Structure 1
Amino acid sequence: MQILFQLKKLLFILSLVFLFSCKQQKKEKFPDITPIKQGEIEYAKGFSIERSTNGITIIKITSPWPNAESAFTYALISRQKLASISLNKDEYDAIITVPVEKVVATSTTHIPALEALGVEDKLIGFPDTKYISSQKTRKRIDSGLIKELGNNESINTEMVLEMNPDVVVGFSINNQNKTYETIQRSNIPVVYNGDWTEETPLGKAEWIKFFAPFFEKEVMADSIFSQIKDSYLEAKILAKTAKQPPTVLSGAMYKDVWYLPAGKSWAAQFLADANANYLWKNTSGTGSLSLSWETVLEKSKTADFWIGPSQFTTYKSMSEASPHYQQFDAFQNKKVFTFSSTKGDTGGLLYYELAPQRPDLVLKDLIHIFHPELLPEYQNLLFKPLE
């Protein structure tokens, strides 16, 4: 009887230990989400970040493309927390374990952010690699470390599935991307990056903070963006000291229609911050304007400078394309500047890749063009005079 009693007592104690252990290992299902501190996202309008007290980061993309009707929400869980946290998958468009080790990117604007964070070695696939200009990433492409995936509209899904990345950073102009749907059905997370929809230079640059949580590099991203912001704002203040803002024309013709930046666009903001009088600064819209060449000539024949004449890199090619260009004073005075001549080894335009991430360099280029006395020792990186 004494032995039987001791056995029952032992079983009771073991059952308590087992019950307590189960309770300790039970996963948290309702993480306490607290908003990101005010001021951490200063300029970008297309995304937000929230962090929980137990290690979950929630990224919400509100502007994956222009006029998007719905937002995308992604949950990022640290590997150390993965075993103790359970989330309702129906509440999120993707749940990603971080830090990610293998990533597929789809826009050249993603490359500078990855390189700045020191995680370019995590990039394993990219569509249209020929458009990448960065020498650092090109070396990885040439070494076979980054696979060519076709083009963004029809990514080689078989290759993506075989590579099995931790996440695909997508880029899309609308919600009709069947390729991404195929990838998602194979349990590979796709997250949308909408940096290109931002309307301000610093708003675009701040998307480095979107990339940071995937690699647990938030502190580094904050520091990088702070330096870019300070550099940009210092240049902007310097530009204001110029006594005479020059008048500026932009754009060029395509099939007899002249396309140029609207007054609220990203490009127009650069010109304003460089203390230039962009002649269409008072127009509405954040995209481009479509005008006749006669209308443009009437308003800007005597403009001091011509910035961004489409793909043209020489005065000869402009003259051959249309004799109308020769009527502008900026053309006659050799005051036309382009970013189309600054290319990578395979022909990609560095401006499209680097400018969104480094708006301070764009602004300094323009200040040096408009007000060379303010930056006498500066060497332009992106904008160069036509040949």
Structure 2
Amino acid sequence: MPLNLQKIMNINSNKFSFLVLLLLLIGCKKSEQLSNKISDVSGNTIAYAKSLAISKYDGYSVVKVSNPWPESSKNFTYILKEKNGVIPDSLQKYNVIQIPLQSIVVTSTTNIPFLEMLRVEKLLVGFPNTDYISSKKTRKLIDAGAVKNIGQNEKLNMEQLIDLAPDLIVAYGVDNNNPMIDNLQKSGLNVLFQADWMEQTPLGKAEWIKLYGALFGKEKEAKILFETIVKNYNDALALVATQKSTVTVLYGSMYQDQWYVAKGNSWVAQFMKDAKSNYLWADVEGTGSLSLSFEKILDKAKTANYWIATGSFKNSTEFKNSNPHYSQFDALKNNNVYTFESKLGSTGGTIYYELAPSRPDLVLKDYIKIFHPDLLPNYTFTFAQKLN
């Protein structure tokens, strides 16, 4: 064969090989585009919570937590990877958590009801200061040694946590200074910040059950449970829809020389508004609490019809003895003082603090029973107690 013809054939062969390679690359690209199209986000599944977003993809979910503590500038993104799930390169920089979890450590009692509602409480292996837990179901696990006491939130037992090696530690922060969390992560432990305590709407707090649904592969169960709570809450709203907000309400108690009242956009104030009452500080902007002197409280609330007191008082005598100035309020004179904090677990934990965030429908019914007792004549309080 002539040399020139051989060269031509070689050139054509190289062109053919390049063309085949190009076609293969295009095919792979189209296949990748098709794969991305199949795994496109189904949309954020969170409707009420402001600090949580969960987006479901094919083989993984993206969880975003924002505003985890007051005045926070940090946002956190977590990737929940299912078995055989493929995480795109663009998401590899975030913390990847293998799901469903087989073990977990939580650090707030508000998480306990979520675990129990989803029937995964037996996967809880550790909690800081287990005496705070009130639930009888989880207390049995603690008594049996299945849930270890891992110290205090600010000073967790690092060696014990490393030994337990939970799939995930769910923590919370009160500010940007979290050296304990940093040390846990440096030790190779998975940590997820949650911000349920920063939510200021009743249903916003309760919707965090969906995070636990995603962590344990129980999204459908979490969705059904939450939808039931929403329905119950809306049914309670319908019950008072035609009622007028005529009864006036005082909230709080003295702490040292200050009285802290809930601001108008807070979680507590929302319940009182939804229960059709006239909360006397409903017009104060903000979501936290307002510190006032006793004189200012007395001037505004001396004739209030109802008083929602803070503290674990058992009766009005104990309440009166805690501060002699309380007897000046008409609500106490008329025996219309209630507290949501008097019911305690066997080891002293406050049931309201543990269960109320996940069951706002029950909290609202308690408030309705207080302010409009004729609407729920056969209803028994879940949290509230009248100080007789």
User: TM-score per shorter chain, which class?
Assistant: 0.7 to 0.9
8 A Cα contact 2:311 2:342, kept in partner: no
Alignment of 1:1-387 (within 5 A): 34-37=40-43, 40-53=45-58, 55-81=59-85, 85=87, 87=89, 91-92=93-94, 94-243=95-244, 245-387=246-388
Q: Please say if residues 35 and 49 of structure 1, whose CA atoms lie closer than 8 Å, have aligned partners that are also in contact.
A: no
**Cα distance in 2, alignment partners of residues 217 and 173 from structure 1:** 29
Q: CA deviation at 1:171?
A: 1.4
Q: Distance in 2 between matches of 1:90 and 1:194?
A: 23
Secondary structure at the counterpart of residue 324 of structure 1: helix
Letter of the structure 2 residue corresponding to residue 61 of structure 1: V
1-side partners of 2:54 and 2:91: how far apart? Answer: 18
Distance, in Å, in 1 between the alignment partners of 2:104 and 2:91 is 21
CA contact (8 A) 2:49 2:207 kept: yes
Alignment RMSD: 1.9
Q: Which runs of 5+ in 2 are unaligned?
A: 1-23
Q: Deviations over 1:328-366 (max 9, x none)?
A: 000111110012211111110011110100000000011
Q: How far apart are residue 212 of structure 1 and its match? A: 1.1
For the Cα contact (< 8 Å) 1:169–1:193, is it kept in 2? Answer: yes
Whether the 8 Å contact between 1:302 and 1:328 is mirrored in structure 2 is yes
State the 1:76 CA deviation: 0.8
| TM superposition shift of 1:68 | 1.3
One-letter amino acid of the counterpart of residue 70, structure 1? K
In structure 2, the partner of 1:5 is: none
Contact 2:244 2:276 in 1 (8 A): no
Give the residue type in structure 2 aligned to 1:354.
L
Q: CA deviation at 1:236?
A: 1.2
Quickly say closer, same or farther: Cα 1:114–1:46, change in 2 above 3 A: same
Query: Cα distance, 1:179 vs. partner?
Result: 1.5
CA shift for structure 1 position 317: 2.7
Shift of 1:91: 2.0
In 1: Cα distance, 2:275 partner to 2:221 partner: 28
Gaps of 5+ in 1: 1-19
CA distance in 2, matches of 1:282, 1:165: 45
Determine helix, strand or coil for the equivalent of 1:373: helix
Using the alignment, how far apart are the partners of 2:265 and 2:244 within structure 1? Answer: 24
The residue that corresponds to 1:17 in the other structure is: none
- SS of 2:375 mapped into structure 1: coil
Q: What SS is found at the alignment partner of 1:331?
A: helix
Q: Are 2:245 and 2:278, in contact at CA under 8 Å, matched by a contact in 1?
A: no
Q: Give the Cα–Cα distance (whole angstroms) in 2 for the partners of residues 86 and 187 of structure 1.
A: 22
Residues 101-135 of structure 1: CA distance to partner in whole angstroms, max 9, x if unpaired? Answer: 01000000000111111111110000011011111
Alpha-carbon separation, structure 1, partners of 2:206 and 2:123:
21
Kept after mapping to 2: 8 A contact 1:246/1:277: yes
2:137 alignment partner, SS class: helix
Name whichever of 55-64 and 265-274 sits farther off: 55-64
Amino acid at match of 2:43: K
Residue 256 (structure 1) shift: 1.4
CA–CA separation in structure 2 for the residues paired with 1:348 and 1:153: 18
Letter in structure 1 aligned against 2:321: E
Q: CA deviation at 1:85?
A: 4.8
Structure 1 residue 36, shift from structure 2 partner: 4.1
